[in-house]
Structure 1
Amino acid sequence: MTQPGPATLWTPPDSAFSDSALARFALANGFDPRRYDELHGWSVSRRDEFWDALWDFTGVLGDKGDVVEQPPRTEGADLDQLPSLRHGRMFGTRYFPHGRLNVAENLLRGEPGRLAVLAADETGIHTRLTVAQLRGRVAAVQAGLRAAGVGEGDVVAGILPNTVENLTTMIATLSLGAAWAGCSPDFGVAGLVDRIGQVAPSVVVAAQSYAYNGRDFDVRAKAEEVVARLGTAPDLVLVGSPRWDEQFTDETSALTLERFPFDAPGLIMFTSGTTGLPKAIVHSAGGVLLQHLKEHVLHGDVRPGDVHSWFTSTAWMMYAWVVSVLAAEAAVVLIDGNPSPRLPDGTVDCGHLWRMADDAGLTHFGTSPRYLSGLMDAGYAPREHHDLGALRSVLSAGAPVSAEQYDWLYAEVKRDMVFASICGGTEIHGCFQLGSPLHPVRRGEITCVALGHAVSVLDDRGAPVVGEKGELVCTEPFPSMPLTFLGDGGLRRYHDTYFAERPDVWTHGDLAELTPRRSVVVHGRSDTTLKPNGVRIGTAEIYRVVDQRPEIAESLVFGHTARTDEEVVLCLVMAEGHELTPGFTKELKADIRAQASPRHVPAHVFAVSEVPYTLNGKKVEGAARTAAGGGTVKNEASLANPGSLHEFRALFA
């Protein structure tokens, strides 16, 4: 007997099956929009037809060439070093090998008077740019970069907040056929050197300062020290300096848009680096553009004239992801500063982003589970304070979204909208599973597997399973796979990270579950999976219970080896006015036992003052586990609060 699924929180209207872009794409290629599985099957079995059709449907500006997918070449390859090439299926496949495009040309498309960019800080939206104005600013920066010697194949690094200057510098870099490596200005010197030092930039563009929570923080001295420590002597350009004003702001400059190979390096993204030196992942310009257009236009139903936001640092992959809506002829909101700034009386302004949403006429609101938890804990209901009439979708990334957060979104934000928990990563610069205008939204589940991705969940035997936890894999190639990792042995390191465990099968590193409804539940990262008594469980299952408790402000779960077994450790930051007492601990363990299982019950529960986070706001379970075990956390510079590890080092000392 089939077990009932979780509650359905939203159901697509009949009009979605004819009017949405995903429906129109399905119909144009001979598929019934109500039979998504058939469309998905075609997208992974006839990949050349799918990606070719997607190029045409989304109106990519460029030349496709006459080949869509080119199998890996083994000539001259060391097959002992790169065994996946023996299989000739996935690792090393190229897309549109004769294609040429310019990403900037696609991002700057559309009617000159169309709204393209809204820039905001802690005071609200302060700048609005049309396509014509954005093109003028990009042309000015392009002229400055060209004068600094930047050309095809070079790298430009940024140390900039989420401002118009970061956007125009990134687009101008791509317009010249160069690659962009963005870093956040709140990184420390060591963290910046670890990243920028790998990419050998010809130019580093940095802010002189950035603002957060009403305070200004100096960047100039930091940037100068970073450049001095690189050893390659890149040219340092400071935004707002006399040089910037003279060479990078002339909007009468002519914008040139030469087309470059589809798989030319375009974006260099850095992993979090909490287990060692951050990996510098090189992505192709065309592969990322096509991936993002698929996700925005088909899965997100982003339409011309829509307005999309995502609170993100310039270092997170979500920055480049959200600004790609420009290629869908939508506008992007650039959000700088604190998403919930402190008010003069010391309280948190929970309505900041929602007022901005009303002011912008926002259609798509991007966020994170951590931000949602903050609103829930504060008892803030956006629907009671804001109109949100234009809002059609809320999206979340960065960590699994709890079932209770699904409930809260539909009760306290808006009932008639699509909520999309999206999940993928820096490695693919996109999503393996995400939302859809044609699927119901079910409590606690990611809606569907993305078109173009042959995603499976494998058990310990390597067999595909449904309704069971296992390893998330992708078995067929796709255009946004990385080109390589930078540095010595980059291709080998890339291969060993994703293909060593299963030759020519991408092993993503997520513990996940594919449901009978073809939706997905992600239970956490495989490298933080808990194994008490040898049984594999996910940290997300514990967080779903713990995060419901108003007495708890933050939590972190990891495994600690004791003799021959692994014990579950739960660390709690208690909410103001609450203490971790034996009675509360007993009650919490009973909740975990009842709502998860006896194996999920922690052996140890500790109170700590803070938990470690990356600068992008992700909990770092691995760093806490290493510190608690007495090991050395290899790259504390990647943490926003490295001092938090002192408490974890003392837990079992």
Structure 2
Amino acid sequence: MTAPITAKRSPSIWEPSNERIEQSHMKAFADYTGQPLFPYERFHRWSVSHLSEFWSAVWDYAGIIGHKGERIHIPGASMPDSQWFPEAQLNFAENLLRGSLDRTVAYEANESGVSRSITLHELRQSVAKAQEGLKRLGVQQGDCVAGVTTNDIEGLVALLATTSLGATWTSCSPDFGTKGIVDRIGQVKPKVLIATLTYQYKQKTFDIEDKIKETTEHLEGLSALITLGGESYAKDALSWNDLCNNEAEEPTFQPVPFDHPLYILYTSGTTGLPKAIVHSTGGTLLQHVKEHQFHCDIKPGDVLFWYTNTAWMMYPWLISALASEAAIVLYDGSPIRKDALTHLWDVADEIGITHFGTSPKYLDTLMKSGIHLKSSHSLQALKSVLSCGAPLAAEQYDWVYQTIKPDVFLTSISGGTEIIGCFVMGSPVHPLKRGEISGKALGMAVDVLDERGASVYEEKGDLVCTQPFPSMPLTFFGEGGDERYRKSYFSKRPGIWTHGDLAEQTIDQSMIIYGRADTTLNPGGVRIGTAEIYGVVDYIEEIRDSVVFGWPKEHDEDIVLCVVTEHLTDDLAKQIRQQIRAKASPRHVPKRIYQVEAIPHTINGKKVEGAAKTAALGKEVKNEASLRNPASLQAFRELSEREFV
């Protein structure tokens, strides 16, 4: 009899030592709950089938400050109707401003290097003064405060002072245009705006005083403007120093219900007005301490860095690490200096960063530049490299272990602004395979479903979540918010959260993310994730950037690839197609390849396939204000008239 043919899975590229497993938060939490850690699949099933027991244990294990109450989870008629901790009272800022007063809790850095640090005692004192200033402006529980702030200590203080009062925080990055800012925070009608008047990027200073003034003219109900980084330009505005000029020394903390609004975050808004997503105090805190401690293994005294601006969900995710008594690094500016590609790693060495958060694009830039960090940096404190924003390619796993550190815990994470957290994450207790994410996050009933609604393995399908979780949005802000929220995530499969990502789960229970399902290619009726093509093209040395989308053609579509390169020759196009054919499949090979000057990106750095395709088809791209470089779309509008190879 002929032996059956079995698919070979790639060997592990990293395995945790027994010591690492035994000392992990994940192992300690399993012991705390009386559940065996292995097999992890059983532990995960327990976490999603015993929701009250699991999330109550997260609260207790993490030492959440507040009153928990007796009832934990009350199921509703559908997922978004679930109630969490209905008797609980807590304050978000109080849970972050905890621990030893003399420890350093935040470092501030920019393109010039590390500029300053702050202890918990100093941070609490600064929060107390800002809190008193906001009180005098009439800010109280239920109000909304908005920030147009850089990623620095003043921005952190503003956020914590706001939430200490039980008010809601929302923020934008100062490099947004006026329309981009108003399209976001204008929806939520903040009572107070805290805004920087200058920011720096690529060693240039940008004065945005006029932009802030114009913004305030469009904010309905605004009662006060606080300015950072300059003198107030109007008599009805206060400087930050004026706000904090009082005798307060110790903050007070207003307890709020578990489901009290904490943050309002915004989707990228490339297909219309950005969705204003309201997140709860307790849901955000519990989700973040679970992710930081169990999946990232962040411990007291660790130092977490994530390259982010104040508009992206990774900003509040970073800040929440204070609740695990870790320090955070607040970095503002470009991640790369022309004279120092490894600038962020210089900062990492100087501070002693233990957890370095970044993006695949940044790692790709270093990889193409031949950077070998093991040769130039000690990185003695570094324990983990984390990545999100796009799928991490298999070659990048190799590069990290070959050139950064052989025993680093590499973790790609995937979730979204909509849940202010992650569905799938790394694991400090799992072997890691190249191109894969270790598994499903605890408490998240993640699955991959095909068009029949059946769970599938080793096959692409829709990433879904089948059980409720505390960090689900409260609503979308504004008229018809509940209806818009339910339509966005529950219309395709009533009662099941369909996230919008194309994913695959392996028979080993690890996960692979292929990109957004709404940008999935479908040539010949076969679903292809754009990440599979980027995973080849972006590692061709001559290609600086790329975008791929489908071009409709007689009930089918052609794959179109647009590349940023010095000169697109026939030989280079041939090389691109050969590599895609060999490393992906013949179905992935693009029919047309165009050269363009630039690829459209959001202000947060994500490439926008939908905008590129819409422009190429001659349709209107809604909300170009969400793009960092809207002028790049002109080349796509002219594609049909241009030659391709």
TM-score by length of 2: 0.96
Indicate if the aligned counterparts of 1:137 and 1:251 stay in contact, CA closer than 8 A. Answer: no
Indicate if the aligned counterparts of 1:54 and 1:294 stay in contact, CA closer than 8 A. Answer: yes
Compute the displacement of 1:559 (Å): 1.0
Question: What does residue 616 of structure 1 align with?
Answer: 604
> Pick from 31, 34, 41: which aligns with 2:38?
34
Q: Does 1:295 align with 2:291?
A: yes
Q: Provide Cα deviations, 1:10-57, integer angstroms capped at 9, x if missing partner.
A: 101111332111001011212222321111011000000000001000
Q: Provide Cα deviations, 1:537-593, integer angstroms capped at 9, x if missing partner.
A: 11011111112210111111111112322111100001xxx4211122122112211
3-state SS in 1 of match to 2:80: coil
Question: What does residue 553 of structure 2 align with?
Answer: 562
Amino acid at match of 1:409: V
Give, in whole Å, the separation in 2 of the partners of 1:279 and 1:291: 21
Indicate if the aligned counterparts of 2:128 and 2:249 stay in contact, CA closer than 8 A. Answer: yes
Question: What does residue 366 of structure 1 align with?
Answer: 357
Indicate if the aligned counterparts of 1:33 and 1:438 stay in contact, CA closer than 8 A. Answer: no
Compute the displacement of 1:510 (Å): 0.3
Give, in whole Å, the separation in 2 of the partners of 1:445 and 1:251: 53
Compute the displacement of 1:533 (Å): 1.5
Indicate if the aligned counterparts of 2:124 and 2:250 stay in contact, CA closer than 8 A. Answer: no
Give, in whole Å, the separation in 1 of the partners of 2:315 and 2:8: 38
Compute the displacement of 1:212 (Å): 1.0
Compute the displacement of 1:323 (Å): 1.0
Compute the displacement of 1:7 (Å): 3.0
Q: Does 1:71 align with 2:75?
A: yes
3-state SS in 1 of match to 2:292: helix
Question: What does residue 230 of structure 1 align with?
Answer: 219
Unpaired runs of 5+ residues, structure 1, are 73-87, 344-348
Compute the displacement of 1:366 (Å): 0.3
Amino acid at match of 1:29: T
Q: Does 1:393 align with 2:384?
A: yes
Question: What does residue 470 of structure 1 align with?
Answer: 461
> Pick from 6, 9, 13: which aligns with 1:5?
9
Question: What does residue 79 of structure 1 align with?
Answer: none
Amino acid at match of 2:595: A
Give, in whole Å, the separation in 1 of the partners of 2:421 and 2:542: 35
Question: What does residue 53 of structure 1 align with?
Answer: 57
Indicate if the aligned counterparts of 2:295 and 2:427 stay in contact, CA closer than 8 A. Answer: yes
3-state SS in 2 of match to 1:91: helix
Compute the displacement of 1:2 (Å): 4.2
Indicate if the aligned counterparts of 1:44 and 1:451 stay in contact, CA closer than 8 A. Answer: yes
> Pick from 305, 310, 313: which aligns with 2:306?
310
Matches within 5 A, 1:248-287: 248-250=244-246, 252-287=248-283
Question: What does residue 90 of structure 1 align with?
Answer: 79
Indicate if the aligned counterparts of 1:227 and 1:234 stay in contact, CA closer than 8 A. Answer: no
Amino acid at match of 2:437: I
Question: What does residue 246 of structure 1 align with?
Answer: 242
Question: What does residue 589 of structure 1 align with?
Answer: 577
Give, in whole Å, the separation in 2 of the partners of 1:49 and 1:16: 26
Give, in whole Å, the separation in 1 of the partners of 2:69 and 2:34: 24
3-state SS in 2 of match to 1:652: helix
Amino acid at match of 2:511: V
Give, in whole Å, the separation in 2 of the partners of 1:186 and 1:637: 11
Amino acid at match of 2:367: M
Give, in whole Å, the separation in 2 of the partners of 1:342 and 1:168: 32
Amino acid at match of 1:568: I
Give, in whole Å, the separation in 2 of the partners of 1:367 and 1:132: 29
- Identity, % of aligned positions: 52
Q: Does 1:481 align with 2:485?
A: no
Q: Provide Cα deviations, 1:499-540, integer angstroms capped at 9, x if missing partner.
A: 011101000000000001111000110010001112111101
> Pick from 624, 627, 638: which aligns with 1:650?
638
Give, in whole Å, the separation in 1 of the partners of 2:246 and 2:289: 31
Question: What does residue 356 of structure 1 align with?
Answer: 347
Indicate if the aligned counterparts of 2:356 and 2:382 stay in contact, CA closer than 8 A. Answer: yes
Compute the displacement of 1:646 (Å): 0.2
Compute the displacement of 1:249 (Å): 4.6
Q: Does 1:630 align with 2:623?
A: no
Compute the displacement of 1:232 (Å): 2.7
Compute the displacement of 1:246 (Å): 2.0
Give, in whole Å, the separation in 2 of the partners of 1:411 and 1:17: 23
Amino acid at match of 1:30: G
Compute the displacement of 1:234 (Å): 3.8
Q: Provide Cα deviations, 1:451-473, integer angstroms capped at 9, x if missing partner.
A: 00000000111100011000000
3-state SS in 2 of match to 1:339: coil
Give, in whole Å, the separation in 2 of the partners of 1:541 and 1:234: 50
Compute the displacement of 1:384 (Å): 1.1
Indicate if the aligned counterparts of 2:147 and 2:195 stay in contact, CA closer than 8 A. Answer: yes
Question: What does residue 535 of structure 1 align with?
Answer: 526
Matches within 5 A, 1:404-483: 404-483=395-474
Give, in whole Å, the separation in 2 of the partners of 1:422 and 1:461: 27
3-state SS in 2 of match to 1:481: coil
Question: What does residue 235 of structure 2 align with?
Answer: none
Q: Provide Cα deviations, 1:241-282, integer angstroms capped at 9, x if missing partner.
A: 363212225464441112110110001000000000000000
3-state SS in 2 of match to 1:263: coil
Compute the displacement of 1:342 (Å): 2.8
Indicate if the aligned counterparts of 2:502 and 2:513 stay in contact, CA closer than 8 A. Answer: yes
Give, in whole Å, the separation in 2 of the partners of 1:186 and 1:442: 38
Give, in whole Å, the separation in 2 of the partners of 1:553 and 1:649: 21
Indicate if the aligned counterparts of 2:364 and 2:539 stay in contact, CA closer than 8 A. Answer: no
Question: What does residue 124 of structure 1 align with?
Answer: 113
Give, in whole Å, the separation in 2 of the partners of 1:50 and 1:229: 45
Q: Provide Cα deviations, 1:581-620, integer angstroms capped at 9, x if missing partner.
A: 1122122112211211111111110000100000111000
Give, in whole Å, the separation in 1 of the partners of 2:164 and 2:220: 27
Indicate if the aligned counterparts of 1:179 and 1:265 stay in contact, CA closer than 8 A. Answer: yes
TM-score by length of 1: 0.95
Indicate if the aligned counterparts of 1:17 and 1:33 stay in contact, CA closer than 8 A. Answer: no
Compute the displacement of 1:156 (Å): 0.6
Question: What does residue 66 of structure 2 align with?
Answer: 62
Question: What does residue 512 of structure 1 align with?
Answer: 503
Indicate if the aligned counterparts of 1:206 and 1:219 stay in contact, CA closer than 8 A. Answer: no
Give, in whole Å, the separation in 2 of the partners of 1:439 and 1:310: 23
Compute the displacement of 1:106 (Å): 0.5
Q: Does 1:136 align with 2:125?
A: yes
Give, in whole Å, the separation in 1 of the partners of 2:120 and 2:561: 50
| Aligned CA distance change for structure 1 residues 234 and 634 (closer, same or farther; 3 Å) | farther
Question: What does residue 607 of structure 1 align with?
Answer: 595
Indicate if the aligned counterparts of 1:71 and 1:94 stay in contact, CA closer than 8 A. Answer: yes
Q: Does 1:383 align with 2:379?
A: no
Indicate if the aligned counterparts of 2:189 and 2:220 stay in contact, CA closer than 8 A. Answer: no
Could you tell which deviates more after superposition, 611-620 or 561-570?
A: 561-570
Q: Does 1:502 align with 2:489?
A: no
Question: What does residue 322 of structure 1 align with?
Answer: 318
Indicate if the aligned counterparts of 1:16 and 1:23 stay in contact, CA closer than 8 A. Answer: no
Amino acid at match of 2:49: S
Q: Does 1:105 align with 2:94?
A: yes
3-state SS in 1 of match to 2:128: helix
Compute the displacement of 1:497 (Å): 0.1
3-state SS in 2 of match to 1:309: strand
Could you tell which deviates more after superposition, 229-238 or 616-625?
A: 229-238
3-state SS in 1 of match to 2:282: helix
Amino acid at match of 1:526: A
Give, in whole Å, the separation in 1 of the partners of 2:381 and 2:447: 36
